[in-house]
Amino acid sequence: MTRQPAVAGQFYTDEPKRLRGDLQRMIPAETMKQRVKGIVAPHAGYVYSGHVAGAVYGAIEIPSTVVILGPNHHGFGAAAALYPEGEWLTPLGSVPIDVRLSQLVQKHVPLVEPETSAHRFEHSLEVQVPFLQYCRADVSIVPICLGFGDYERCRLLGEGIARAIREFGEDVLIVASSDMTHYESADAARAKDEQAIAEVLALNPEGLVQICRRKNITMCGVIPATVMLVTAKALGASKAELISYATSGDVTGDNRQVVAYAAMAVY
């Protein structure tokens, strides 16, 4: 199975040479790269959030296998939809699915369903792939699109992915794709987002879900971020840091209604 890009030419350019140039400008050329268990990276159009995502991708080592967790914006497909095999195309070329890790995830996480319809139009996972390709040409991925909202399934999924990674026996990065507060003033967004970010930095996955629900923080990837935290903690993570934070207002100059973006690393 080959997944065609759904948002090339919209969220990012579909011209390979230009895309490489954009990524080069967005990803700092750091010499000291950190080994991490997981990251949170935004998924808006690159003109708005690419420099935030690039900040975290430039700061970390990218292993050869990456699990990408993204929210289901369209509602198609299963509640936990795993793209099981094949390849994903971007303007930079193809990225294979890591079939062995995909099969181990299916073995250890009964609630995951192998299917492709949830992924067909979903941008949240796709926009991470060119960053991964640019940073590591031989990368393979395990994309999982999430469309549920409760903590218990986050816990079951995260613990199962951790078991799969342990059996896999190699370094794996978990990318949680998420933007932060949507369509509030920049000041209001920052005040809300600081509370959600604090839960990530405290490695408190259940607290992250609770604060977003209680304070109506419209962090669209709260579930992917929560699953990533559960997985990373099960694999021994003990620290987290905020790498970058920005809003669309920083680009447009209009701070009345923004979308906010954060990049965080867990290690």
How is residue 257 annotated by DSSP? S
pLDDT beyond 90 at 151: yes
pLDDT beyond 90 at 30: no
For 58-87, write each residue's pLDDT tens digit. Answer: 999 999 999 999 999 999 999 999 999 999
Strand partners for 145: 70, 81
pLDDT confidence of residue 196:
98
For 41-59, write each residue's pLDDT tens digit. Answer: 999 999 999 999 999 999 9
CA 227 to chain centre: 11
Rounded Cα–Cα distance for residues 167 and 149 (Å): 28
Please give the average per-residue pLDDT across 82-110, as a whole number. Answer: 98
CB 175 within 8 A of CB 66: yes
pLDDT beyond 90 at 26: yes
pLDDT beyond 90 at 33: yes
For 191-203, write each residue's pLDDT tens digit. Answer: 999 999 999 999 9
How is residue 239 annotated by DSSP? -
